[in-house]
Structure 1
Amino acid sequence: MADSATPTVPGTPARTPHAAGTQDVPRTPETPDVLDALDAPDARASLAAAQAGLLAALVAGAGVPDGFDADRVRIQAHALVNKRSGSVASALPGLARTLGADFGRLFAAYAAGRPKPEGGSGADARAFAEWLEER
């Protein structure tokens, strides 16, 4: 049963309104319980905690939360550090050139347990340079 705000296309499952982010999920006999569970406040809080834990594992070196594949999270975290190092190298090409082959290793050591600072890649580059000076 669809209203005028929720048009249906013949041959496709009906869509029904649900919690934020789930309104466009097609309703099938297999999905209603999952979508209804996302509407529960406890489920949202649990999901928010899992997302915060995952983010901390990806960018701040925190442990991998339960329910996530540790190897995949480690691989993605490594990829994010590599992406950050590329941005820092672009922001401070002279520093990257001076450090040469040691740049990647040193940046990884700097980035371990240290999320990207507010202010973007320029701020990250300045913080990395300061970190190098303090060593």
Structure 2
Amino acid sequence: MNRNNLRACREDPRRTSTDIQVSVTSPNEPVLSRRTIRRRLQVAGLHGRRPHLSWGPREWANHIWSDESRFNLFGTNGIQWIRRPIGSRYAPQYQCPTVKHGGGSVMVWGCFSDTSMGPLKRIVGTMDDMYTKTSWRTQC
């Protein structure tokens, strides 16, 4: 079964673990999970990677990258987890403080190229609002 996984992956490197699972399933053997298939491929040195363009430095130099990030002033957006013994749900050391109405955040936008960095701009509102304003486009 392991050999079939490797062969299927080497024949077509774009195959997903689900595709490999379907193609190598046999009625005489148990079905391997997709996670097990990925682990076995990694052990064989076949790691999942994003494909990159075969550009040289000149092609990459013609592009600008930009991104926006939101920084919470207090707390987190996600679920917080805490490890506690059974029966200690309300003990103060196992509680997490919260702030009503989110506690606020700051959103920023920035860009860079191969030769320099652009300004870091604070975004007031949402990025959707910013794309519709002419002043935003002229600042870039």
**Shorter-chain TM-score category?**
under 0.3
Q: TM-score, normalised by structure 2?
A: 0.19
Q: TM-score, normalised by structure 1?
A: 0.20
Structure with greater contact order relative to length (CA < 8 Å, sep ≥ 6): 2
Q: Which structure has the larger Rg? A: 2
Query: Of Structure 1 and Structure 2, which has the larger fraction of its residues in strand?
Result: 2
Query: Of Structure 1 and Structure 2, which has the larger fraction of its residues in helix?
Result: 1
